[in-house]
Structure 1
Amino acid sequence: MISTVITISVRRLLHNPVELLLTFVVPVVFFSVFALIFGSGIGIGRTPKVKVAIATTDHNDSSRSLAEALADSDGLRVLAIENGDKTQGKKKHPVQQDINRVTDAVRKGTVAIGILIGRDKSGSLKAELLTDASDQVAPQVVSAIVSREIAIAEARFAQMNGESLLVRKPSVEHPSADNSEGSEVERATSRDSDVGDRMLPTESVSIIDVMSDGKSNPVVSLYAAGIAVMFLLFGASGGGGVLLEERENTTLDRLLSSQLTMDQLLLGKWFYLTLLGFVQVTVMFLWGQIVFGIDLLGHLDGFIMMTLVTSGAAAAFGLFLATLCKTRGQLNGLSVIMILTMSALGGSMVPRYVMSEKMREMGLWTFNAWALDGYDKVFWRELPVESLWPQLAVLMGCGVAFLLVARALAVRWEFN
């Protein structure tokens, strides 16, 4: 009898495409997504090139040489900040003279790190890193690169002045030799690679957070936005599935036989799902303000604009999935794959700063990324609402496109 139960279960699985999809396809899809994210980023010991802007606090030749050395580093992508915050690629002399412009570029998210190069009172090279605390990887990467380049620059400066560098390294080649051969020895060297491998003084590089000072728990608002967008999509797909249930129990036929048109039905569903999503996200952020100290009231105008447009786009996406599928089971399987994939690529599940450049570009094909960029501008960067127009335009365009496609797909219900 046990074998009979197993046989029945296997046959049921083989004749259920949705269950097969969720059992075998979904794990492979998500393994592939996260392998692409971490396989080309921090997971293999490499990080994407960090966008930085460099400025010197003096006109010393050594500071400028250090800036040019950083521009040639494989881990950095140095941008020249021009008027209007337009950026250009790496130049031969990417040094900025306006420190305030570099600071503004960090605040607006144009670059991840601003590097200010100068000398301290003793004449040693130093660097200040202007950082954005929402990116927890870039400061560590840039700090290591800058520290190494400072050590190399100081070594070259010492050699030019006829000084010798003492590098202590343990000798492990002859463990049976006498103490003079087996102990640590002092050797003078002129090789930059040896200098770069030394233990570097941390006082040569200081990290300054230019974003989170004076703010009330803004990082939590970013996490809340990521979770909110993902659950908006799940809620909208579930609400759109009501259309399929009404189709299966003939309620849809009775509705269409009245004076109600398909256009009115879809718009009514869309308005309901949009308002429901707006209330859902508002409740989440209100809870965040009460419990976690999110400054919702201080960013109310930007929050309302982003949440309304994002909820509308998610509602249209839910209706598109519902009209695309024939049964509720198909909708459940398809929505899980699409929503979780979009959430992973768009930043709702994995921070986008750990992704490679190509993965970030792929994420722009999801409106998760655009929505999170909008919330980032509102709560983290505190930019004016006028700066939200790219995100609002893309999300509204997505909403209109999904509604039009859903209306075209719903034609079959009218004729059936």
Structure 2
Amino acid sequence: MGAVMRAMALTLMRDRGALMMTFVLPPLLFVLFAAVFAGTGGESATIKVAAARASDAPSAEAFLAALARAPDVEVARVAPDAVAVKVADGSADVGLVVRGDVAAATATPPLLLVTDPARTVAAAILSARIQRLFTDELPGMAISRVAAQIEVLVGPFTPEQRTRLADSVARAPQLVKESGAELMARQSVARRQVEPAVSYYAGAIAMLFLLFSAVQGAASLVDERRSGVFDRIVMTRGGVAALVGGKLAFLVLQGLALSAVLFAVAQVVYGVHVVQHLGPFLAVAAAASAAAAGIALPLAAAARTRQQAQTLSTFAVLLLSAVGGSMVPRFLMPDWLQQAGNLTPTAWGIEAFQGALWRGDSLAALLPSLAILLAYAAAGGALTLWLIRRQVRLA
């Protein structure tokens, strides 16, 4: 037993890749996952707010200025009629219209939150931010506190004043309700009658399993090197380019088939509008599948053994999925992780699926996301070619 243990220890110590995957990657993944999930409650999330002022009251401008100074709120000032547009196209997490005097009792709530059903939690986070803002920077004085301060400054109240004050304090909820002093109201942008969370997670799960299926298919490179098939393929006409091109094309077709099955279930069971936007959906599915292949193939080409390829690929898939938004919507993450998510194909794939199936974007509107996904595919294919040609020269 001791000899077996010593042999295994020596094997592990001589394999730098195994050492890294055993002792370096797990704690790194833990740190990243902890950072991702620590922000899911919204406390550390920075939300993008499209804000507009539709009131001339001085308090309206003062309120928006104070909100813009909040460290966890990114305010973009727009015209009142543009707020719903910004929320609908996804450039803002939630909209805010200051339509009345926030320092006075009004017939209607002075603040209007414009929400996207796919991001209702953003409205809840903004509501909490606004309540905190009034508490910390724009504190409203409760009746009892105002009365107590006045009494200290000018002297005791008369018995009649004390009676009226006690009566007002006791009936404060009723008085507030009757005065129309509700602070916030909500309005949703128009959407189809589809559960927004289903639409989001259909794209999120699609990106997750496109990556997993791609790394499983790309791992055949390792088997082909060990069996000798690889050497025969690279010596044929087309050589390495034909090998990489064939695998890339197969992984794209495999991804299209996987997407078709997943989104067929989403349409039949939950009413996600896939057939109604078939052209944009197919374009996004093909580009996302190509991007997943562009991630998987270099990992397989760089690995020496199938086990090494599977471990490295699993780490990469979990990392890209967590940071890119497959597990938690990105706007709930800390700001630095939101920025890091922009570097992942997962984030762009989810955004493209959302645009095609939830917002109903045209192909022209989807072009930036599609271009980035295809850039991942092209870069991954080029890197795979370089790695394999390097291995052939070294052999």
Instruction: Please report the TM-score for the alignment, with normalisation by the length of structure 1.
Output: 0.76
Q: For residues 409 and 148 of structure 1, what CA distance do their matches in structure 2 show?
A: 54
3-state SS in 2 of match to 1:294: coil
5 Å matches for 1:12-411? 23-39=22-38, 41=39, 46-81=43-78, 96=79, 99-119=80-100, 122-123=106-107, 126-147=110-131, 155=140, 165-167=143-145, 203-210=182-189, 213-411=191-389
Q: For residues 317 and 69 of structure 1, what CA distance do their matches in structure 2 show?
A: 44
3-state SS in 2 of match to 1:348: coil
Q: For residues 292 and 260 of structure 1, what CA distance do their matches in structure 2 show?
A: 46
Q: For residues 354 and 186 of structure 2, what CA distance do their matches in structure 1 show?
A: 22
Q: Deviations over 1:360-384 (max 9, x none)?
A: 1111221111111111212222222
Q: For residues 405 and 26 of structure 1, what CA distance do their matches in structure 2 show?
A: 22
Q: Structure 1 or 2: larger helix share?
A: 2
8 Å CA contact retained: 1:56, 1:63? yes
Q: For residues 397 and 148 of structure 1, what CA distance do their matches in structure 2 show?
A: 43
AA aligned to 1:105 is K
8 Å CA contact retained: 2:117, 2:196? no
Question: Using CA pairs below 8 Å that are at least 6 residues apart, which structure has the higher relative contact order?
Answer: 2
Q: For residues 303 and 147 of structure 1, what CA distance do their matches in structure 2 show?
A: 41
Q: For residues 236 and 68 of structure 2, what CA distance do their matches in structure 1 show?
A: 69
Q: For residues 408 and 311 of structure 1, what CA distance do their matches in structure 2 show?
A: 21
Moved more, 221-230 or 116-125: 116-125
Number of residue pairs the alignment of both structures matches:
363
8 Å CA contact retained: 2:21, 2:312? no
Q: For residues 187 and 15 of structure 1, what CA distance do their matches in structure 2 show?
A: 81
Instruction: Please report the TM-score for the alignment, with normalisation by the length of structure 2.
Output: 0.80
- Structure 1: unaligned runs, 5 residues or longer: 82-95, 157-163, 170-185, 189-200
3-state SS in 2 of match to 1:350: coil
Deviation of the 1:14 alpha carbon: 5.8
Q: For residues 234 and 148 of structure 1, what CA distance do their matches in structure 2 show?
A: 42
Task: Quickly say closer, same or farther: Cα 1:368–1:228, change in 2 above 3 A.
Answer: same
Task: Give the share of equivalent positions with the same residue, in percent.
Answer: 30
AA aligned to 1:261 is G
Q: Deviations over 1:17-56 (max 9, x none)?
A: 66655544443122110223345x356x732332212223
Moved more, 7-16 or 252-261: 7-16
AA aligned to 1:236 is A
Question: Alpha carbon RMSD of aligned pairs, Å?
Answer: 3.4
3-state SS in 2 of match to 1:378: helix
8 Å CA contact retained: 1:277, 1:311? yes
Q: For residues 46 and 242 of structure 1, what CA distance do their matches in structure 2 show?
A: 44
8 Å CA contact retained: 2:52, 2:77? no
Deviation of the 1:311 alpha carbon: 0.8
- Structure 2: unaligned runs, 5 residues or longer: 148-163, 167-179
Q: For residues 294 and 385 of structure 2, what CA distance do their matches in structure 1 show?
A: 10
AA aligned to 1:281 is S
